[in-house]
């Protein structure tokens, strides 16, 4: 053992009999890819708007002149291609797979761009799903991406865990909705991020309220939000609250999310931009 041993084997290059094996499951990005920052978008349960927030963030960052990309890791519920109106299939060459560009130039890879029929269900077990996501990282050629957003598989189970271990994520955003279970769900997501040593950028509450177009009043359809208390408990920031807006679901259904205007995610975009500055 070296005299200067600080027992940090992962950052030490000494040939040493006492070396403790460090479990490293991280996978290498394709050698032709370049991705500066990776942001994972997670939720403790399905259907809270994780894909929507992923899409809106990629669109907002792209509008600011950065090159953004989406890796759709939600393999069993891939809604990203639909929101962007992408009908084509991904292509490949002897070097690897190529993402599809959206109308405004966002690079996208999703299982639906590889399946023959978009409506085919993905009835795969966890390890196969996790393996597919790893391949989206290792076998896809992501050219010159400033910010990649990963629409993570919902929940805090085996698949999201494997994805976090394999892909070098720089920060995560937790999406919630104002419901009773949120406290427990956020705790689980926070715990997972801590275990993986990934910084949490903050919380986004979706479907927070509905603004009635007739009287301009806000109605809390899912009840009062407890997001501030939850954020305080975990020492996190509430970055944004999105309303329920029929124009959002219409934009997703018509594949026109890139045309949707809504500036609720601006505070998130500001923080993400700073991540670029400190790189
Ligand atoms: N704030 C909103 N206002 C109106 N519709 C919304 C809003 N947020 C999400 N939706 C709609 O709800 C549906 C589910 O959203 P989304 O696919 O983003 O959820 P998800 O958390 O990614 O779900 P899953 O984890 O099951 O993939 C979509 O059809 C979307 O258009």
Report the atom number in ligand 1 closest to the C-alpha of 206: 1
Confidence (pLDDT) at 120: 74
pLDDT at 11: 46
Shortest-distance Cα residue to atom 8 of ligand 1: 49
Q: What is the ipTM of this complex?
A: 0.95
pLDDT digits (tens, 9 = 90+) for 8-51: 554 455 666 665 554 567 888 999 999 999 999 998 777 889 99
Please indicate, yes or no, whether the overall pTM of this predicted structure exceeds 0.90.
no
- What pLDDT is stored for residue 279 in this prediction? 44
Ligand 1, residue 247: give the atom nearest the CA: 4
Question: Who contacts 98 (Cβ-Cβ below 8 Å, separation ≥6)?
Answer: 90, 91, 92, 140, 141
pLDDT reported for residue 127: 78
- Pairwise CA distance, residues 241 & 100, whole Å: 30
Could you give all domains of the chain from N- to C-terminal order, each with its CATH number? Answer: 27-271 (3.40.50.300)
Q: pLDDT at position 238, please?
A: 94
Binding region for ATP:
44-51
Q: Closest Cα to atom 23, ligand 1: which residue? A: 47
How much distance in Å is there from the Cα of 237 to the middle of ligand 1? Answer: 22
∠ CA 50-51-55, nearest 5°, is 120
> What pLDDT does residue 276 have?
64
127 lines ligand 1 (CB under 6 A): no
Instruction: Mark the ranges of the chain whose per-residue pLDDT is less than 70.
Output: 1-24, 180, 276-279
Q: Which of 42, 48, 52 to mutate to test the pocket of ligand 1 (most atoms within 8 A of CB)?
A: 52
């Amino acid at each position: 053992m070296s005299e200067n041993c600080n027992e940090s084997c992962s950052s030490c290059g000494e040939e040493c009999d006492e070396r403790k094996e460090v479990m490293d499951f991280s996978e290498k990005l394709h050698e032709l890819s370049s991705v500066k920052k990776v942001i994972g978008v997670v939720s403790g349960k399905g259907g809270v708007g994780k894909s929507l927030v992923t899409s809106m963030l990629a669109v907002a960052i792209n509008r600011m002149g950065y090159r953004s990309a989406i890796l759709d890791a939600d393999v069993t519920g891939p809604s990203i291609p639909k929101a962007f109106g992408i009908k084509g299939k991904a292509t490949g060459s002897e070097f690897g797979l190529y993402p599809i560009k959206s109308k405004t130039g966002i690079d996208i890879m999703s299982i639906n761009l590889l399946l023959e029929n978009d409506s085919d269900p993905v009835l795969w077990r966890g390890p196969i799903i996790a393996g597919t996501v790893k391949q989206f990282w290792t076998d896809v050629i992501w050219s010159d991406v400033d910010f990649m957003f990963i629409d993570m598989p919902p929940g805090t189970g085996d698949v999201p865990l494997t994805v976090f271990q394999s892909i070098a994520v720089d920060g995560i955003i937790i999406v919630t909705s104002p419901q009773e279970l949120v406290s427990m769900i956020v705790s689980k997501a926070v715990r997972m991020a801590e275990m993986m040593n990934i910084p949490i950028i903050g919380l986004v509450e979706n479907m927070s309220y509905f603004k009635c177009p007739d009287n301009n009043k806000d109605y809390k359809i899912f009840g009062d939000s407890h997001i501030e208390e939850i954020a305080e408990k975990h020492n996190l920031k509430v970055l944004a609250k999105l309303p329920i807006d029929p124009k959002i679901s219409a934009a997703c259904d018509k594949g026109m999310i890139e045309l949707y205007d809504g500036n609720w995610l601006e505070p998130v975009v500001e923080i993400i931009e700073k991540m670029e500055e400190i790189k």
